[in-house]
Amino acid sequence: MRPVIIAANWKMHTSPSDAGELARTIAARTREPHVVRVICPPFLCLAAVGEALAASDPEVAIGAQNVHHELAGAYTGEVSAPMLEGLATWVILGHSERRRDAGETDELIGRKLGRALSAGLRPIVCVGEQLQDREAGRADAVVRNQIEGIFRALEAGNEARSTVVIAYEPVWAIGTGRNASGADAAAMTGVIRAGLAAQGFVAEAEDVPVLYGGSVTSANIGEFLGEPSIDGALVGGASLKPDEMAGIVARAAITAAARLGQPAAR
C-alpha cells in the first residue's frame, strides 16, 4: 500500500531567523496519523528547521530543494549530496523552476537522481507539461519522455530506487492559482507508472507514490486525494501558511486512514 505524502516546497522564502518558528508551527498544526510530512526549506534554512523539528516533532522529514550531480569540485555556489548529510533526508529534483531558470535537462536530473539515491536521499522527481503541450494534446507524450530521459540511466539493480517519489506538476498550474482537474492528474499517474515500468520498474511501478503539485490548497486537495492513484501533494505557495497546511494534511489523514482500513481520527 502506498503512503500518503504531503511535501512543502518553501522555494526561496524564509530565512534562518524565521524558518525554525514556521516549521514548528506547521508541525504542530499538522500532527495527523499516517501522513508522511516533508518540509523543504531553502538550503540556508535546513539547519534551523532541523533544530526546531528535532525539539518539537522529529516525525516531520526535511528535504532539500535541489542537489548537484557531482560529489565535489569546482562548482561555485552549489551543494552536493554528501553535504546534506545530517541536514536533509529528502530532496526535490527537476522542479520546473529549475528547468526554467537553471536549464536543467532530463539527462542532468537523471544524474542528480543517481547521486541522491547513492547518498540515501529520498527523491521527489518532478515532471509536467507546459500549457502549449496540453493544449496541443501532447501532455502525455511530454511526461512520458521526461520519465524516460530521467530514469534511462538508473540501473535496474539499484535497490535505493524503491524510495523514488514522483510529483506530477503541470507547469501551467504552478504558482498560478489554476490547478489541473483531479481526473486529468489521475490520468497522468497512469502515464507516469507506465513510463516507469518501461524503464525497468516493472514490478514496482504501482508502488511508486505519485503526488500532484500545482496550486494545491486546503480547498482543492480533496479533488486530488479523492483519486485512488494520487498519493499526496507537493505544495508550494500554500505550504508557507499554517492554516492551509493544517487543512491539507487533515484531508490527507482521511485518505491515509481509508487506505489502512481505519476510521479517520476525526
Grid coordinates representing 236? 508550494
Smallest gap from Cβ 161 to ligand PEP, in A, equals: 22
Exactly one of 97, 104, 129, 169 is catalytic; which is it? 169
Q: For residues 174 and 193, what is the distance between their CA atoms, to the nearest angstrom?
A: 22
Closest CB to ligand PEP among residues 99, 257: 99
Smallest gap from Cβ 60 to ligand PEP, in A, equals: 18
Closest CB to ligand PEP among residues 95, 161: 95
Closest CB to ligand PEP among residues 32, 97: 97
Helices 106-118 and 139-151 pack at an angle, to 10 degrees, of 50
Smallest gap from Cβ 179 to ligand PEP, in A, equals: 8
Establish whether 95 is a catalytic residue. Answer: yes
Smallest gap from Cβ 203 to ligand PEP, in A, equals: 29
Closest CB to ligand PEP among residues 67, 235: 235
Q: For residues 224 and 5, what is the distance between their CA atoms, to the nearest angstrom?
A: 12
261 contacts: CB under 8 Å, gap ≥ 6: none
Alpha carbon of residue 184 to chain centroid: 18
Closest CB to ligand PEP among residues 41, 257: 41
Strand pairing class (122-127; 35-40): unpaired
Structure letter (DSSP) for residue 239: G
Closest CB to ligand PEP among residues 9, 199: 9
Residue 209 CB coordination number (10 Å): 19
User: Which region, left, alpha or beta, applies to residue 103 given φ > 0 means left and ψ of -120 to 50 means alpha?
Assistant: left
Q: For residues 238 and 212, what is the distance between their CA atoms, to the nearest angstrom?
A: 14
Grid coordinates representing 109? 536530473
Smallest gap from Cβ 65 to ligand PEP, in A, equals: 9
Q: Closest residue to ligand PEP, Cβ-based?
A: 236
Establish whether 69 is a catalytic residue. Answer: no
Inter-CA distances, 194 with 103, 160, 169, Å = 26, 20, 17
Exactly one of 69, 95, 104, 244 is catalytic; which is it? 95
Q: For residues 42 and 55, what is the distance between their CA atoms, to the nearest angstrom?
A: 20
Smallest gap from Cβ 249 to ligand PEP, in A, equals: 15
Which of 55, 16, 33 minimizes the C-alpha distance to 256? 33
For 46, the enclosing helix (H) or strand (E) is helix 46-56
Contacts to ligand PEP by CB under 6 A: 9, 11, 95, 169, 174-175, 213-216, 234-238
* Catalytic residue positions, numbered: 95, 169
